[in-house]
Amino acid sequence: MGYNVTTGRDGNRAFVNVFVNGKRFRFANGKSINVQLKASENLDLLKSAFELKLLEGWRPEIRDNPKNVYKPQSFIEELTDSVNAVQSGHYSYHHKRDCRWVLKEWKAYSNNKNLRTYCRKDLCKKDFLAFINQTKWSKRTQKNVLTILRCLINDENLKAIKIKRPAATLHKPIKDVPSLLKDIKKFNDNLYLCCLLTYGCLLRPHREVRELTWGDFSDDLSTIRLSGNRNKSGRNRVVPVPSYIREVLTPSIPDHNLFTGDLRAPNPDYFKSAWGRFKKRSKLLKEGQTLYSFRHTGAIDIYKRTGSIEKLKTAMGHSNIMVSLTYLRGLDVTELEEEDMPKL
């Protein structure tokens, strides 16, 4: 039986290679030949010890490679792989965050229900439905959890689950915008400017407003120009800036963000957190009013003054007129059909 002994290194790790009939065995120490010596301590001496043992008739023990033993992937492992793929893909911050959250929730749920080691084939529709229908979640959250699971896992049980579309939540319009803005200004200047731009320019607060730089404004501050990759519709957008907003702007370096004063934008949840803190102390906010209510209130004002769905569509940055029609229905405005709209 032929054999050969060599040494090698993998980065900082040293080892002895023993070749028997063309099969390689790698050893980082002499434990297998009852020698108390590590390759990192004296590699050449360990090599000599293996050569001596081979001369004496010792041969490496051939063991089954655990890697060759098939082990079904658990559902948690499969879900984790899918979530990791999303994290490295070209997805939005919020989708990545939501996927991580669903994974965390499933891990907690499966621990509680002793499902942690279950493979996907061991789970049935009832198991998924029980997870989704947890009473701690609203109907809207339950619907979102199902949607995310379907994005992550292609499974017939998930496809078979039906959840009724939750009732539309109206963002209640603000009746006295100046008073509420004044109250917000006392609380936080950045939140005040965000609300002002959301109302006056109808920009979406959590991305379009949050990522604004001074370079997005024209030299006289009369317009804001956003490229297609900066807004939801995917189209270039030019928005007029009302005089009451221009009055509070203090331009700085073009590449600098309006709210941080440097190249970075605030974190994606910055205004959500600020609004949550303001909401707890405000005595002017009504039930159903959110940060988006400023945009919705501005939309109603534009439509009531112009009566033009086309102007509203342009101001809102909607991709088509049907989106604007649906939007108005959700704003508690008299329902309209496209044929009722002014002709251009």
How far apart (Å, rounded) are the C-alpha atoms in residues 205 and 199?
10
| Residue 88: predicted pLDDT | 86
What's the pLDDT at 111? 93
Stated pTM of the model:
0.58
Residue 79's pLDDT is 94
| Residue-wise pLDDT tens digits, 316-338 | 777 677 766 665 665 555 544 55
Mean pLDDT (whole number) for 37-44: 91
Amino acid at residue number 21: N
> H/E element holding 259?
none
E-assigned strand segments in the chain: 3-10, 13-20, 23-27, 223-226, 237-240
- Token output for 171: 């963002």
- Structural domains in the chain plus CATH codes: 3-68 (no CATH), 75-160 (1.10.150), 177-340 (1.10.443.10)
Whole-Å CA distances, 175 to 28, 210, 290, 331, 335: 75, 25, 13, 13, 20
Q: Given a cut of 70, is residue 342 above it in pLDDT? A: no
pLDDT at res. 326: 62
pLDDT tens digits for range 61-101: 876 555 555 567 899 999 999 999 999 888 888 899 999 99
> Can you spell out the DSSP letters for 53-120?
HHHTT--------GGGS--PPBHHHHHHHHHHHHHTSS--HHHHHHHHHHHHHHHHHHHHTT-TT-BG
Cα–Cα distance for residue pair 141/312, rounded to 1 Å: 30
What's the pLDDT score for residue 221? 93
pLDDT in tens, 188-232: 999 999 999 999 988 989 889 999 999 999 999 999 998 877 766
According to the per-residue pLDDT averaged within each range, which of 11-25, 208-222, 293-307, 326-340 is highest?
Answer: 208-222
The pLDDT value recorded for residue 344 is 44
Arithmetic mean of pLDDT, 288-306: 84
- Please give the pLDDT value at position 21: 80
Strands 223-226 and 237-240: antiparallel
- pLDDT of 339 reads 58
